[in-house]
Amino acid sequence: MQKLLVKLFIKDYQKIHDPKVRSKYGTLSGITGIVSNIILCSIKIILGIITASLSILADGINNLTDAGSSVITLVGFKLSSIPADEDHPFGHERIEYITGLIISFLILIIGFTLGKESVTKLITKEVTQTISFSIIIIMILSILIKLWQSIFYRKMAKAINSEALFASSKDSLNDCISTSAVIIGLIIFKFTNWEPIDGILGIIVAIFILISGIKMVFETVNPLIGTKPTQEEINSITKKILSYQGVIGVHDLVIHHYGSCTTFVTAHVEVPSDEDIVISHDIIDNIERELRTQLGIDLTLHMDPVDIKNPRTNELRQKVVNIIESISKDLSIHDFRVVYGDTHTNLVFDVAMPIKFSCSKKELKDLITSEIKKLDETYFPVIQIDQLYNRNEE
What pLDDT does 266 receive?
A: 92
Whether this model's pTM surpasses 0.85: no
Q: Which residues have C-beta within 8 Å of that of residue 140, sequence separation ≥ 6?
A: 183
Q: What is the torsion angle, in degrees rounded to the nearest 10, for the CA atoms of residue 162, residue 166, residue 168 and residue 171?
A: -160
Average pLDDT over residues 340-357: 89
Domain spans in the chain, listed from the N-terminal domain onward: 2-225, 231-388
Average pLDDT over residues 367-392: 86
Mean pLDDT of the chain, nearest integer: 84
Distance CA 23, CA 80 (A): 8
Work out the percent of the chain whose per-residue pLDDT is above 70.
Answer: 95
What pLDDT does 125 receive?
A: 67
pLDDT digits (tens, 9 = 90+) for 103-133: 788 878 878 887 887 788 778 766 555 566 7
Distance CA 7, CA 20 (A): 15
What pLDDT does 54 receive?
A: 67
Is 1.20.1510.10 the CATH number for 2-225? Answer: yes
pLDDT band at 393 (very low <50, low <70, confident <90, very high): very low
One DSSP character per residue, 160-219 reads: HT-HHHHHHHHHHHHHHHHHHHHHHHHHHHHHH--THHHHHHHHHHHHHHHHHHHHHHHH
pLDDT digits (tens, 9 = 90+) for 305-332: 888 888 999 999 999 999 999 999 889 8
What is the CATH code for 231-388? Answer: 3.30.70.1350
Work out the percent of the chain whose per-residue pLDDT is above 90.
Answer: 23
Whether pLDDT at 150 is above 50: yes
Distance CA 172, CA 167 (A): 9
| Number of C-beta neighbours around residue 336 at 10 A | 21
pLDDT band at 269 (very low <50, low <70, confident <90, very high): very high
